[in-house]
Amino acid sequence: MGTPDIAAGCLDALAEAHDVCCAVTRADKPKGRGGAVACSAVKEAAARRGIDVVQPATLKDGKFLETLERYAPDAVAVVAYGLILPRYVLRYPKYGCINVHASLLPKYRGAAPIQWCVAAGERVGGVTTMLMDEGLDTGDMLLKEQVEIPPDMTAGELHDRYCEISRRLLPETLDGVEHNTIVPQPQNHALHTYAPMLTKENTKINWNDTPRGIVNFVRAMNPVPGAHTALNGKKLKIFTCRAADAQTIDTPGTVIGGKDGLTVACGGGAVTVTELQIEGKKRMDAAAFLRGFPITDGTILE
């Protein structure tokens, strides 16, 4: 059960080592400006391998039990599926529902663990496999693999690293559960942190933050959805920036200059924006942007 690229990679890895009887993914939906209907990465991967695909609109009405009874899976692997699994699904398979979660649990439970881990400036992250229960990422842990996070790594780059780990860790977990060589470890719930779904509100740059905090936030939202602010009423996405060697008493969010980059005052200093995208235009480096869209010093980004 899964939807995006990270889940498709896991499906491919599982299909090499196990009998995947069915792939369950979210319904097809319109994508892009043209509104053409697009299927998920998992559906595409399953189609390449001739694996049956099921796309329930909901699991709440109990009708998915018919699918479970038709395929009778020994285990259900869940990777970024996107729907909450009800009790009847969790309890059906012999070896349970096994989830791949993109954090070192109990840290960063929730929908966007990669982004909020990077935004917090964590230097270590990782992937955890776990037995699912009815809580939000609260089940017993099975295997973990740790990853160093360099201070310039974007969330997109960390995602790609996690994809590689997940492809290896999930089949290893299934083997261990089947042969009873993994001892599930309860989480220490007192140590958990929450990684909420990304929204328009919580992906907006807070210019009152420190330079390091803003740099971390920007790389956390790179490449999607993009950390954003507003320039003269237009949405401005910022993809890369660095702490500026500048002291300022200007109001946070005030443009204080820049030729090769756009320097903006923030809490306790300033940052220089090096790659951005104004609403309706393509992503570009700041120097090229400023040649076409000069910004007067004193302009305030909101």
Q: Each residue of 234-275: pLDDT tens digit?
A: 999 999 999 998 777 889 999 998 666 799 999 989 999 999
Residue that is written with structure tokens 């330079």 in the block: 211
Rounded Cα–Cα distance for residues 206 and 203 (Å): 9
**Which CATH number is correct for 211-292, 3.30.465.10, 3.20.20.370, 3.10.25.10, 3.10.129.10?**
3.10.25.10
Domain with CATH 3.40.50.170 in the chain: 5-195
Whole-structure pTM value = 0.93
pLDDT tens for 179-214 read 999 999 999 999 999 999 999 999 999 999 999 999
Q: How far apart are the first and last CA of the chain?
A: 40
pLDDT tens for 36-85 read 888 999 999 999 999 999 999 999 999 999 999 999 999 999 999 989 99
Residue 190, amino acid: A
CATH node for 5-195: 3.40.50.170
Domain with CATH 3.10.25.10 in the chain: 211-292
Rounded Cα–Cα distance for residues 139 and 146 (Å): 19
Rounded Cα–Cα distance for residues 259 and 157 (Å): 28
Peptide bond into 106 cis (omega under 30): yes
- Describe the crossing of helices 155-178 and 5-17 by its angle, rounded to 10 degrees: 30
Rounded Cα–Cα distance for residues 177 and 131 (Å): 10
